[in-house]
Amino acid sequence: MASDFSHIRTPVFTSLIWVAFLCAWVASSAFLYHSLHAKLHQQGISLVKEIEEASLDPNNPSDVDGIQTILERRGFSLGSIDEQSQDWFYNNVEHEVFTAKGITLTLKHPTIGIYYAHWFVVLTGLFIGVGFGLCRWNLRLNKKLAIESKVNASHLVNQSPQKPDSAETVNMLLVEQYGLFSLVNFDVKLPEECDAETYFKVVLAKAFTKYQKCRVRYLNDGLLAITFPVVPKPEIQDMTAVIHEQIFKSLRKFRHDLSRKAVKVGTCYYPHKAEQAKVYQLARSALAIATNNLWHHYHCQPLNHTQSELFEEQQEVLNYITRGRFLLLFQPLIGFDQQDIVASEALLRVRHSKIGLMSAKQFIVHVQEPTHFIELDKHVIGQVFNLLNKEPSNLDVHINIHCMSWCSSDFRSWLLAQLADFKYAYRLVFEIAAFDFYQYSIQLHDIFCALQKSGARVMVDHIEKPLEVSRFRALPAVVGLKLSVELVHNIEVDLQRQRLVREIVTQAKLLKLPVFAIGVETHQTLLCLQKLGIKGAQGHYFSEPLQQFSDSDLISGHDT
């Protein structure tokens, strides 16, 4: 609807709106002043009538006190035109002549602006509130128009039933054609009577009338798969944004408080006859990138020749690790009370022949088999054991374990067997994501208790909402909590996140668990976290990941 009058939203038009708003405020104030003055004048006339009915003569000195008593009850007093100062603009009192039933009196009363000042304050406050609301509406409308301009760009279809001329047909054939595959993840529960595939197919068909073929499928893992077999390459990037906007708008009908970050879209565009497995993996990778990004809710990746070759090599990541072509870096964890390093988190890096060092985030999205996750975790744990045996350290070492590994009975048996023969087990802290901890805490109760008996401990990371306190009380092996990067990012300017972190810290104090933050990059973030009760932090503000166990001399020297 907003797009129907977007063409008249010029700076001149906007200025005219604000001028009209100002004129409305002036006119309302003048009308209020006139109405209040008429009311005050009516009160003066009623007072004169009351004096006449009481048979009081203003010219009789003995009746003056009685008249003053009557007038003062209404805020009036006897006055004279001669008393009024020439500087009438600055006076707090007005003199006015009232006549009723043959009696004429000059009475003094407070000026309208002072006597009814509260009414003018209320009126002005009301207009200020309306003006503030208009400003916010204007900003939101501008954003909406900017987005809808992209949406409308995809709706530019020739409305006439005439066939396009031969030149237009040739131009379409010359444009490089691709396929577009999108995966959509949204945090909304649809009504049971709503068929997701049919509903979203209708939504997209209305949005993309230019493309006759659009396949929509609701996958078993809860993702929505959207396929456009033929799309011109210049329109691919805009289509990704339009898909996100259309899905978001369609879901707002079921949940009015839905935010755009609750809808994430990962897209892969590919040449024809591309392998479906590669397209799907790239779309999952793009979706993972969008999910991990706070501000960008959709991401598009191409499947080209270079990417295809890279896929073949990324599938051999496990072979790189098996052959020992990897290393561990260690991210220092700084304790605020100790003013020193208290632990180091082990981070896996793979030595790729063409790309160089690959972080876990670069290849983990392409790992699909549960056995691959288990093998990765086993190699990381084995390397940490070797390093601790060669270079004993007084610092704890944190190791992230994937959910697939935690849920594997074979891996749990292997881990306990390794710890039984390891003399530095008390230096190990195994980390598990909060989501997995809540979901599998009952199944993992025995392994956590066994880890505690061996001397190792457990830390729950990626905390992003208030704790489920009852889950922690039954597991003494849990010795700490780590906030998620998303919760820490820009917390110094986000009051809602500060309140959430303060609540988490309060709950953790009841459980006697320290709370740590990760991803700290600025001094302002650090100061804010300290005020909120955080016990320690890690991030690039303190140090880059190091190639050996962290030592105080290796840190660049930021005060905490």
Q: What is the pLDDT of residues 492-539, one digit of tens each?
A: 888 888 999 999 999 999 999 999 999 888 889 999 999 999 999 998
Alpha-carbon distance 516 to 42, whole Å?
Answer: 71
Mean predicted confidence (pLDDT) in 248-274: 85
Q: Can you give the pLDDT at residue 223?
A: 87
Strongest mean pLDDT among 55-59, 175-179, 249-253: 249-253
Lowest mean pLDDT among 344-353, 373-382, 440-449, 476-485: 344-353
Lowest mean pLDDT among 69-78, 262-271, 385-394, 407-416: 69-78
For tokens 């779309």, name the residue.
Answer: 283
pLDDT in tens, 69-122: 777 666 676 665 555 444 444 455 566 666 666 666 666 666 666 667 777 788
Q: Can you give the pLDDT at residue 551?
A: 45
Q: Can you give the pLDDT at residue 326?
A: 72
Q: Percent of the chain, pLDDT > 70?
A: 71
Strongest mean pLDDT among 53-62, 221-230, 420-429: 420-429
Is 168 or 346 the better-scoring residue by pLDDT?
346
pTM: 0.49
Q: pLDDT-based confidence at 331, cuts 50/70/90?
A: confident
Mean predicted confidence (pLDDT) in 431-453: 89
Q: pLDDT-based confidence at 258, cuts 50/70/90?
A: confident
Mean predicted confidence (pLDDT) in 39-61: 71
- Across the beta sheet with 263-270, the strand order is 215-218, 224-232, 177-186, 263-270, 298-302
Q: Can you give the pLDDT at residue 531?
A: 93
Mean predicted confidence (pLDDT) in 46-60: 70
Mean pLDDT of all residues in the chain? 77
- Across the beta sheet with 103-110, the strand order is 77-78, 103-110, 93-100
DSSP one-letter code for 189: P
Strands in 15-102 per DSSP E: 77-78, 93-100
Q: Can you give the pLDDT at residue 514?
A: 94
**Helix axis angle, 61-72 to 11-53, nearest 10°:** 140
pLDDT at residue 209 tops 60: yes
Q: Can you give the pLDDT at residue 18?
A: 76
pLDDT at residue 560 tops 70: no
pLDDT at residue 168 tops 50: no
Alpha-carbon distance 274 to 254, whole Å?
Answer: 37
DSSP one-letter code for 190: P
Contact present, 227 and 179 (Cβ < 8 Å): yes
Find the angle CA(57)-CA(60)-CA(66) to the nearest 5 degrees.
Answer: 65
H-helix or E-strand spanning residue 178? strand 177-186
pLDDT at residue 128 tops 60: yes
Q: Can you give the pLDDT at residue 39?
A: 76
Strongest mean pLDDT among 205-214, 298-307, 360-369: 205-214
Q: Can you give the pLDDT at residue 162?
A: 41
Lowest mean pLDDT among 123-127, 162-166, 343-347, 467-471: 162-166
Contact present, 86 and 55 (Cβ < 8 Å): no
Q: Can you give the pLDDT at residue 309?
A: 52
pLDDT at residue 205 tops 70: yes
Q: pLDDT-based confidence at 159, cuts 50/70/90?
A: very low
pLDDT at residue 6 tops 50: no
Strongest mean pLDDT among 218-232, 420-434, 532-546: 420-434
What is the SS3 assignment for 124-176?
A: HHHHHHHHHHHHHHHHHHHHHHHHHHHHHHCCCCCCCCCCCCHHHHHHHHHCC
Lowest mean pLDDT among 10-24, 160-174, 197-211, 315-329: 160-174
Lowest mean pLDDT among 134-138, 201-205, 222-226, 529-533: 134-138
Q: Which residues of 29-56 are buried (b: 16+ CB within 10 A; e: fewer)?
A: eeebeeebbeebeeebeebbebbeeeeb
> In this structure, how many other beta carbons lie within 10 angstroms of the beta carbon of residue 277?
10
Q: Can you give the pLDDT at residue 184?
A: 92
The 3-state DSSP class for residue 88 equals helix
